[in-house]
Structure formats: C-alpha cells, structure tokens
Amino acid sequence: NAGVTQTPKFQVLKTGQSMTLQCAQDMNHEYMSWYRQDPGMGLRLIHYSVGAGITDQGEVPNGYNVSRSTTEDFPLRLLSAAPSQTSVYFCASSYSVSPYNEQFFGPGTRLTVL
Amino acid sequence: AQKVTQAQTEISVVEKEDVTLDCVYETRDTTYYLFWYKQPPSGELVFLIRRNSFDEQNEISGRYSWNFQKSTSSFNFTITASQVVDSAVYFCALSEAHATNFGNEKLTFGTGTRLTIIP
C-alpha cells in the first residue's frame, strides 16, 4: 500500500512552460485535492475532486487545471508557468468528502519557475 | 468565514522540556472538526488527531496531549518531555460541517508553527 504518490519530487521550469504534476493513490479514496504551500501562508487549496469525473475549484485555482478520469489519479496541470507559481505542491486524498475525514498527503513536489 | 491562527511562528526548546503549540480558530458553524498535522523535515504532512466540536474531552496519546476549549476557541497541542524527533512544522486545521458544496474542500489550515528541539 503506497498511499499517495507524487511525481516529480523536484522540477524547474522557465516562465511560460507547461507541465503536469502527477498524483496517484491506492486507497480507493473518493476525495482528492491539490494544495500549495508557501512560506507564512500555510496550505491553500487549488482544486479538488469528489470522485471520478467531478472536479471543482479551491481557493487559488488560477493558472491550474485538473481532471479526474479514474479514482486513483488526479494530475495537476500548469498551463503557462509563472514565477508566482514557485511553491511546494501537495496532493492529498481522503476516504470521502465528509469534513470529518483526515487527509492523507503525498510527499510533495517542489517547483521553481524561473 | 473560518480562520485558524497559529500565532507562534517558531519555537525552540531544549530536549526533554515540555512545549505547547497554540491554535485559535474562528467559525460560525456549530458543528466543525479540528485537526493537527505534523510536517517533519522530510516534507510529508502526517495526521495526528481530529476533534469534533461536540467533544471537549482532552486527549492524551503518549507524550502528546490536546486541550480543546470551545469557550476560548482554542485547540492547543502539548508535547511532554520533547525529543529531537519532534522537530517539525505543526499545522492546526479546521473544517466546517455545513460548508458550501461538500465540506472537505473547506478545510482551512493555519500558517504552522516550526518547532525545533535542541539536543
């Protein structure tokens, strides 16, 4: 049981480039989400999904796209990278959409945009 | 709107000392859930505890204890006899039961407290 996995672990992009951060979970969790962590700001929700085919925006969605074609995978796409997107990105999953459920986090992706 | 405040940005204590991490929250909901997560130097956040708004019992798990007080909107975390392995960033978080849409997307994190245990 690998839990939540993310790739890559580190990435450097140039402004304007696009890329996809991969996230997968093997716990058959219904709910998946992407957060970004910036110094002094805690974790902020980018996008989330409550099941295959269902996604919605979080607090800071601009510049990012998501899709969820399977229960296991929830990739995050940066359409045209900007220096403001330099951050650490965490994928998380939980058993259901209930606010009671704790989140399981991946190891994170450290992204630098030059 | 919900809010979580962790006023202590960084704390350093000598090993074996006790330390308390403060968490103050704001919510208009009557049913809500509070969480603590630990982020060790490896980077991955790990769930520590959950408490719902109807359960004000304090909880102890080994060297860890949590004090939930609705009267002061606080959910503080105490580590007794701290160890170097406790060095991490600790996040307090809040989710509301009657949030818009589904609920889990309204999980709000505090800004975290970096705890350093000095050997």
Half-sphere exposure of B115 (CA within 13 A, CB side): 29
Chain A contact set for B9 (CB, 8 A): 40
Residue B113's H or E segment, with its range, is: strand B113-118
What is the structure's pLDDT at B56?
Answer: 85
What pLDDT is attached to residue B8?
97
- Reference B109, options A74, A101, A45; nearest CA is A45
Q: State whether A107 and B44 contact (CB < 8 Å).
A: yes
- Residues 6 or more apart in contact with residue B55 via CB below 8 angstroms: B68
Q: What does the pLDDT read at residue B86?
A: 97
Please report residues of A whose CB lies closer than 8 A to that of B107. Answer: 45, 99, 103
Token pair, residue B26, equals 């704001």
DSSP line for B20-51: EE--EEE-S-SSEEEEEEEE-TT---EEEEEE
Residue of B nearest to A99 (CA): B104
Chain B residues whose C-beta sits inside 8 Å of any chain A C-beta:
4, 9, 32-33, 35, 37, 42-47, 50, 52, 91, 95-97, 99, 101-107, 109-112
**Omega of the bond leading into A61 within 30 degrees of 0 (cis):** no
Residue A41 φ/ψ, nearest 5 degrees: -125, 5
Region B3-13: what's the mean pLDDT?
A: 96
Q: What is the pLDDT of residue A109?
A: 97
Listed residue (B9, B18, B28) closest to B94, CA to CA: B28
pLDDT digits (tens, 9 = 90+) for B56-113: 888 889 999 999 999 999 999 999 999 999 999 999 999 988 766 655 567 899 999 9
Whether B111 and A98 lie within 8 Å, measured CB to CB? no
Chain B residue numbers with beta carbons less than 8 Å from the beta carbon of A90 are 45
Residues A114, A100: contact at Cβ < 8 Å?
Answer: no
Q: What is the least distance, in Å, from the CA of A79 to any CA of chain B?
A: 23
CB contact under 8 A, A56 and B111: no
Copy the structure tokens of residue B24.
Answer: 């103050």
DSSP structure class, residue B57: -
- B-contacting residues of A 19-48, CB under 8 Å? 31, 33, 40-45, 48
Q: What is the pLDDT of residues A16-67, one digit of tens each?
A: 999 999 999 999 999 999 999 998 888 999 999 999 999 999 989 999 999 9
Which 8-state DSSP code applies to residue A103?
Answer: P
Count residue pairs from A and B with Cβ separation < 8 A: 72
Helix (H) or strand (E) holding B79: strand B74-79
For residue B105, the model assigns a pLDDT of 62
